Structures are given as structure tokens and as C-alpha cells.
Amino acid sequence: MYRYDEFDEQIVRERVEQFRGQVERRLDGSLTEDEFKPLRLMNGLYLQLHAYMLRVAVPYGTLNSAQMRQLALIAERYDRGYGHFTTRQNLQYNWLKLVDVPDILGLLADVGMHAIQTSGNCIRNVTADHFAGVAADEIEDPRPTAELIRQWSTLHPEFEYLPRKFKIAVTGAEEDRAAVSVHDIGIRIVRNEAGEVGYRILVGGGLGRTPMVGKTVRDFLPRVELLDYLQAILRVYNRHGRRDNKYKARIKILVHELGAAEFTAQVEEEYRQLERDGIAVAEAELARIAQYFAPPPLDERAEPSDLLAKAREADPALELFARHNLVPHKVRGHTALVLSVKPIGKPPGDATAEQMRVLADLAEQYSHGEMRITHMQNVVLPHVRLDDVPAIHERLLEAGLAEPNAALITDIIACPGMDYCALATARSIPIAEDIQRVFADPARQAEIGKLSIKISGCINACGHHHVGNIGILGLERMGRENYQITLGGDPGNATTLGERLGPGIDADAVPGAIEAIVDTYLELREGPEEQFLTTLARVGHDPFKPALEAKKETADASA
Amino acid sequence: MRGMEKSSKLPKLPLVLTGNRLRDGDVVYFDGSDWTGDLSGAALAEDEATARRLETIAGDSAGVVVDAYLVTAAKGEDGRPAPAHYREAIRASGPTIDFGETA
């Protein structure tokens, strides 16, 4: 794993002390809230409905056991004993006091963590495939590239005040698990015909109020040119991105208004004129960074594991867990283990301090001290021997982290929604919990198969509803919560934005409507192998509409 | 400050003055002389003159309370203020879901 060097250490420590001074000046009245707010946001500190919320960066979703234990300690000492894993692979605390935050940032700095650039109109924490370095379909581990971008973008003086926030995601695999097409810049590590490794660059994707799929501006960018080329993109955006209207300020609007061809032409022109200022990526530097991400020493082992096979036969719960939560590892006899932070009927992505410590212990004992946070709000132990799965499963059962539902219908993404968030227009978490309860039976989930539900409590789409197979958007209508349902979203290689099924419905009608949609799918699919999106593409939205209408009438009648 | 200019249009009466305490972010309401965490103890402005007085308080309290704002409240049967909108109900009572150790 990457370790901060002395420059990183110094930057983070100085930032902690700087923020301590800013908090003091705010409390003694030297700073007004208007002056202080941008400063706290630069340190990831928001004011939500009930308290301050701190968003802690987990660069490319990778963290070690010591870091996880520190997160647990902070949760216990300064929050209410838990934290929330987000769709940006970060962790958020919900109940902080302003006066405690400088000390909290100090504790984070002790383990090489911080909250810098997790908010504000800058280049945000870079995200990556959570199976980086593990997946068999990988051309290259995306994390050295993501780390390079982190180093370049951290406190970049030119890009601290962009028109709006800016999110970059990287994947090095054939299957896009990092949703790169819905980021401001998406980077795919690819191989050209000559066999050289480089980058395909997508620009202008995003969700939110105006969802867009990113456009390819370069099919193959030589590796050494990455930072220069990103600089050219950011310069065009910084110059022409709209600052007059917050809702039109993201780069996706600029790309859309100019057209992809014109935008690309402007980037290429900027790139030609760029005085190469010494940020071209030296192969040696990339190699230096990459060595921190060298795969741990894993012994190839027989596969399948006899030990695991016997344990699966003897224990139905383990069998279910192994069937759904194990992901193939590129090294034989190993697995990447998805630990679902989606127990039925509980807030998606919330982990208690105790659970965090269990995760840290398991990672230390069984996964070379390493964990990943996924944009699905789960945790991955990336390097586990198949032989160790039964022992891990025992511990997970005790900790309430053994839900056998990875990528199934109850593995729901949900933003915090109005239970916490000041921007929300409706609640998300109770909707997710109610839907989970409807589909709680593991046999039923297995019968349905892979199907994603994603819920956002407002149009900003932190819950990625546009790219959910079933998307749910919570809005307000006439003083009541009202939920719009979309079908057909897909964040992967064939990125597709869901389309609305019909008028919004009341909260209490949502679980029934989802059940009716799923029942319709089960009726219409040509076999258990046909996934929801395939069926939908074949039959269209129409067969699903009556189910929604029926539920709406029921809700109206009971209102 | 949201809509705190003298000439601004007031939200629908009756109103309470609320915000989040600077030090800890807690939800607080103005009770006539100080800030309280309990909505039912808030001062309820039932006429425009009282509401305008609360508006002045909001302006003066920026060192203690962040983004104080006037919001429409309901008047409960006991005459005390109650939330008029689900957002304010959640602010007043906390998340509607179990969380942390109790989840």
C-alpha cells in the first residue's frame, strides 16, 4: 500500500494546525460564517441537519488495518459509535462537534489520512476499481495511476477554485467497476495494437440534475502524457466552464454545450500549446509509486479448496455466503471477499466501531492488512485464501457482517437522505430498509439474481439512482415525500441511464411497487440466466407500468 | 443569512426561529431569551411584528448559531410549536431510523 512521504506528512500536519486556528477564529468571532464556510468545506466539514459531518478521504478506496482502527476510535470517541461508507469510497461521520474537529483531523493525520479535497470546487479524492490488483480481467492495477493523480492534484494552485467540483475515476480492468463513464474524467487503462499500456480518456460524464455519459476525447494516450493532458482538460474547463449558474457549472455541461468534437478540439489545441512544465510522468516515478502497490506474496494454491468445499457442504449459511460474496482472484486458491455492509433492515453502508475493528482484525489476519471500500458501500478483503473463508465467515456472523447478498437485490446503494442530509428532499434509508425486508428471504434473492437498486434522496444523485437497474429518486410533492422510479440504468461498460417508469408514488407504496416490478421481470424473463436489463431491453418499459399504477391507486385509496 | 433582510417576505405564519449551534451543530430554537434544543419550548411568532423581532435576533446571533432562519411551524393542541413539515420534524426529533449500536 502507498505510504505518505515526508511531503504528504508535512502538508497534512500543517493543514490540521491551520484549521485549528481557523476554528478558533470562528469561535471567537474573528471569522464570520461566510468567511469560515469555504475553509471548513476545504477540510471536508459540512453542517448537516443535526450536526457537523466530516467526509474522510479514502484514496481509491484502499485502507489498512491501522487506519480502520483509527476510524473506529474516532467513531467511538467523537461520534455516536459508527461511520458511514459512501458511494465515493469515503467514510463520513455524522455527529461531530466543530470544536472537536481539529483533534479528529490530528488523529487521522497520525495514520496518514485526512479530509482534504473531499469537498469544495476542486479535484476530489480519486476513485478506482475496488478489485484493483485482484481482478483477473485487469490490464494493470489502476491505483498507481490514481495515486499519481492524487499527488498532482493535491493543493494544485491552479485548480483549487474550479467552476464546480471535479471527480476522476480510474479502472484498469476490462469490466468497468468504477463507473468511469459517469465521472467528470473517466480513465480506462488500455493496451494499443502495439501492446503498449496507456489511457483512454473520457470527459463530461456525471449524474445529478443533468445526468450524462462521458465522451471519449482520446482513445489512446501514452502513459507519460497523462498529467499534461489532464492539465489541458482542466484548463479548458477552468477557462470556459460556467461560473454564472451552479447547476450548469460541471464540465459535463461544457462538453454538452460545445459538443464533444469541439471540446476535444479545444483540449487538443490547449495541449499543443502547453509549455511542458516538467510534469510529464517519468517512467521511473510511476515505477516508484507502483512498487507500493506490488501484490502481496500469495502462494498459488489448489483450487477449489477442499477445506472450503467440505465446509460449504456442511453449513448452508456458509454455502450461501460463498456463492454470492466471493469474487475470483487472479492468484489461484484465493478470493476477494465482499463483506456486505447491507444487513437486512439496517442503514446501507453504516458500520459500528466494533464492526470496523473486526474488519481491521480480519484484514490483518487474513488479507495482508488491506481493505477496500467499494462504491457499493461495502468492504472488500482483497487477498484471502479460500481455505480461510470458513473461519472468516464465523467471525463475520458474530459481527453481523455475513449477509450473503453481494450484488443481489438487497445490496442496495442509498445516500443518507433526509435522515441526515441538509440537501435532501426525501428520506432514502427507510426506503432501502423496507425494500430489503420485502426481499429478505435468501432463496428469493438468489432466484432473482443480480439486480441493483440505487436510491437518492434528492436530485443530486449521491445514491447513483440514474445507473441503478431500478433507480429510486426521492422528491417532495405538496409537502409529502414522493418517489420516482426509473428502470434500465447500468454504470458498467454499456453505461445506460435509467428511464422514468411513470409518475412518482408515496413512500409506503415503494416496496410494493418494487416487488411488482420484480415479479413482472420474473414472469417475463426467458430463464434464470436472463438478467433484468436484458429482459427490460427485450420487452421495454410498458409491461412494468401497470404494476406501478396499481400500487399508486392503492396508495391513493389509503391516503 | 437566508431571507433575513427586513423587507423580505416572511414564510407562512406562525413561525419559529431555528438554526444549528456553531460549536456543536445541534439543532436549536429561540425561546424568547435564549436558544433551546426543544422545539416545543420555542417562541412561536403568530403575527408579523413578532416574526420581525425574531428576524433581528437571527441577525444578531451569527456568532452562536449558524444560518438561523424563520420556518413555519404548527401550533399544537397545547399551544406549543410543532413541526409543520417533515424536514423540520426530522430536525426536531433526529433520524427516523435506528443507527449505530441500536441499528
Same topology for domains A306-399 and A413-558, yes or no?
A: no
Cβ-based contacts of A403 with chain B (< 8 Å)? none
Interface of B with A in 55-74 (CB under 8 A): 62-63, 66-67
Quick: pLDDT tens for A216-259: 999 999 999 999 999 999 999 999 999 999 999 999 999 999 99
Pick A350's closest partner by Cβ from B62, B86, B99.
B99
Topology of domain A413-558, CATH: Sulfite Reductase Hemoprotein; domain 1 (3.30.413)
What local confidence, expressed as pLDDT, does residue A218 receive? 97
Domains contained in chain B, number: 1
pLDDT digit string (tens) for chain A, length 559 residues = 677 788 889 999 999 999 999 999 999 999 999 999 999 999 999 999 999 999 999 999 999 999 999 999 999 999 999 999 999 999 999 999 999 999 999 999 999 999 999 999 999 999 999 999 999 999 999 999 999 999 999 999 999 999 999 999 999 999 999 999 999 999 999 999 999 999 999 999 999 999 999 999 999 999 999 999 999 999 999 999 999 999 999 999 999 999 999 999 999 999 999 876 666 787 888 899 999 999 999 988 877 799 999 999 999 999 999 999 999 999 999 999 999 999 999 999 999 999 999 999 999 999 999 999 999 999 999 999 999 999 999 999 999 999 999 999 999 999 999 999 999 999 999 999 999 999 999 999 999 999 999 999 999 999 999 999 999 999 999 999 999 999 999 999 999 999 999 999 999 999 999 999 999 999 999 999 999 999 999 999 999 998 787 655 555 554 4
Q: Is residue B7 part of a domain?
A: no
Paired sense of beta strands A480-487 and A505-506, if any: antiparallel
CATH T-level topology, domain A306-399: Sulfite Reductase Hemoprotein; domain 2 (3.90.480)
Residue B77 lies in a domain: yes
Distance from CA of B22 to the nearest CA of A (A): 7
Distance CA(B82)–CA(B44), nearest Å, equals: 10
| Angle subtended at Cα A554 by Cα A551 and Cα A556, rounded to the nearest 5 degrees | 110
Whether residue B76 is contained in a domain is answered as yes
Q: Which residues are registered as beta bridge partners of A92?
A: A55, A84
CATH class of A134-291: alpha beta
Structural domain harbouring B27: 15-95
List the Cα angle A550/B86/A463 in 5-degree steps: 65
Place of cell 493496451: A191
C-alpha cell at B58: 437571527
Interface confidence, given as ipTM, is 0.93
pLDDT of residue A557: 53
| Cis amide linkage into residue A382, ω under 30° from 0 | no
State which residue of chain A sits closest to B19, comparing Cα positions. A49
Class of domain A6-110 (CATH, top level): alpha beta
Give Dmax (Cα) for chain B. 48
Residue B46 domain-assigned (yes or no): yes
User: Is B101 within the bounds of a domain?
Assistant: no
Say how many CB pairs under 8 Å bridge A and B. Answer: 80
User: Considering only CB atoms, which chain B residues are within 8 Å of A50?
Assistant: 25-27, 91, 94-95
Res A339: pLDDT: 97
- Which of B27, B85, B103 is closest, CB to CB, to A50? B27
The domains of chain A are located at 6-110, 134-291, 306-399, 413-558
Closest CA to A220 of A193, A192, A194: A192
pLDDT at A451: 98
